[in-house]
Amino acid sequence: MAKIAKQLIDEYNFGFLSSYQFGDNSPILTHYEYRGPDFTDEVHLPAMMVGTLPEFQLTDAIHHFISVQVAGLFNLLLSVGLHAFYVKTLTRTNYDWLGLPLAGSVDAEKIMRAVVQNEATIIEKVGIPTSISAVAAALPILDLHGVATTRNPENQNYQRQFMVVLDNRHQPQINVLGEPMPVNYGVFDQLFFHLQEKLLQPIFVRYILVRNQALQYFREHGHFRDGHLPAFVISNPQSLTEYVGALAVIHVKHFESLMDRGMDDHTNLTVAGSLSSFNHLMRVDEHLSALDPDYEHRPKQTKRVLYWLYQSQFAASLPASERVTI
């Protein structure tokens, strides 16, 4: 636990956002310099109290708040929060990702534009918390009071500090409904969400692009052939974006038997002629239900993608009105 605590503190002080560069190689987080008016003279405090303060300039307080506290909060919650999301969500059996939008294009620029336009919806669909307090609520690892060596270990419960409003005794303030009051971060929540969007864009774009390439390949060529894997298949990913692309191939390939089953059903005149019929088939057929025991709970768009795969080998023979669109 002590090692985890040190790593979290290091992430707060020296997190990747402070050195991560984008665009023209500019860092995302830079040292903030306040250049507005200083109202220090308007503060009326006893001279004895002022004398105990190491710094008593408004500009110093603003610099510390933005460049240390806000930057540290973003460093910690974005890196730890997104890591927790990746571990929980980017799995071989989370087929919800198959239903991400724009399943019919292999144009990377078009996919990027679609992701930018729809990213808020995509983030909601994949279950990423988007506010600072909601991210903190999903990260019990931030509660360090069990390893604290201070007189008041509860002060090291950073999860609670980031989540709810605390009183002078570090206890949650309760609203009229008897519930702890969540912290309202205002504009900082908006900034936090925009940073999330920027960091997640390459993940969504890569997954959608490779998923679409895999779907197109299966429709045009059928199964992968040993020794002749297409270029988009990466067997040994070295980065997170490469891993996401490999995961997209794994997800599509897992359901490749739907192509053969669809063609057999078409030949035998027993084909599922609608999405509802296909959904029923996926529930009652022993072999198909084994492909995904949680199929019934998948998003509708994921089911449409799988129905498209089922139709892929005979779709050309169907009237346009009977072909599923994705």
Whether residue 204 contacts residue 240, with contact meaning beta carbons closer than 8 Å, is answered with no
- CA distances from residue 126 to 44, 82, 130 in whole angstroms, order as listed: 51, 12, 11
Confidence of residue 274 (pLDDT cuts 50, 70, 90): very high
pLDDT value at residue 287: 95
Name the one residue in this structure whose structure tokens are 């993940």: 203
pLDDT value at residue 211: 96
Q: How many residues does the chain have?
A: 326
Q: What is the CA radius of gyration of the chain?
A: 26
**Dihedral of alpha carbons 162, 168, 169, 172, sign:** negative
Confidence of residue 275 (pLDDT cuts 50, 70, 90): very high
Task: For residue range 20-67, list pLDDT tens digits in order.
Answer: 776 667 777 777 777 777 767 666 777 777 666 666 677 777 878 888
This prediction has a pTM of 0.86
Higher pLDDT, 170 or 191: 191
> Per mean pLDDT, which range of 62-71, 128-137, 235-244, 310-319 is the poorest?
62-71
- CA distances from residue 65 to 33, 75, 162, 256 in whole angstroms, order as listed: 11, 14, 15, 54
Higher pLDDT, 4 or 305: 305
